[in-house]
Copies of this chain bind each other. A is one copy, B any other.
Amino acid sequence: MHIENSIITTIFKGISFSTEETYLIESKLEKIQLNKGIQLLEAGETVVHQYYVQKGCLRTYYVDISGKEHTLQFAIKDWWISDYTAFFSGDKAILNIESIQDTTLYKISKKNMDDLFFEIPKLETFFRKKMERSFASFQKRILSNLAESAKERYVSFVRTYPNIEQRVKNYHIASYLGITTESLSRIRKVLAHH
């Protein structure tokens, strides 16, 4: 499989690689095309991969004991996504991942990542920094759930995911905010009148 250099340069922005390193990274990545509405991961499965979104949109969600869906995250262009708890620990997935648009991904396995970290230590630095940013966004989300009103959380959502509203269903957004679709409509109306 040959991947054009540009995707490596896009994925690992700001890092330069030798030709050998580029070939090595290429050999560890696999391109995937998903139509809209495909289940990429189901709760209960072993999580071997993480995914880089080149274009399209994915959603990770949790189904509670009563069957209700709770959206943890959306992943758009240039985001990485997985059930990281399961990916890191080796436990079974508790999350589901589905494509909510036609999506182009690159996947990499945990084993291949560990091999790359060993061969190209600057990749470990890259992934550590990426993890730090994700960690920061999770911290922000927890504080927002504790301290902010549903309206304020909606405003944060729109800021975090610009231009996503046209692409995702209202019940996805509502289940991300922890509110009903009726509350979401009410909030939108209030904001539209300001």
Q: Which of A10-18, A99-107, A128-136, A160-168 contacts B (4 or more CB under 8 A)?
A: A128-136
Residue with the greatest number of chain B CB neighbours at <10 A, chosen from A70, A94, A127, A140? A70
Residues of chain A at interface, number, CB under 8 A? 35
User: Which residues of chain B are near A135, meaning CB under 8 Å?
Assistant: 84-85, 88, 131, 134-135, 138
A62/B132 in contact, CB under 8 A:
no
* With A62-B146, A138-B138, A178-B145 as contacts: A124 and B131 at CB distance below 8 Å: no
- A1 interface residue per 8 A CB criterion: no
User: Which residues of chain B are near A8, meaning CB under 8 Å?
Assistant: none
- A44 interface residue per 8 A CB criterion: no
Among B94, B132, B138, point to the contact of A88 (Cβ < 8 A). Answer: B132
B132/A124 in contact, CB under 8 A:
no
CB-CB nearest in chain B for A83? B139
- A159 interface residue per 8 A CB criterion: no
- A19 interface residue per 8 A CB criterion: no
- A6 interface residue per 8 A CB criterion: no
User: Which residues of chain B are near A139, meaning CB under 8 Å?
Assistant: 72, 84-85, 138
Among B64, B84, B117, B178, point to the contact of A136 (Cβ < 8 A). Answer: B84
Q: Whole-angstrom distance between the alpha carbons of A134 and B142 in the complex?
A: 13
Among B124, B133, B141, B143, point to the contact of A70 (Cβ < 8 A). Answer: B143
> Which 10 A-B pairs rank lowest in CB-CB distance, beginning with the nearest?
A85-B136, A138-B138, A88-B132, A70-B146, A64-B147, A128-B128, A145-B145, A70-B147, A146-B178, A62-B143
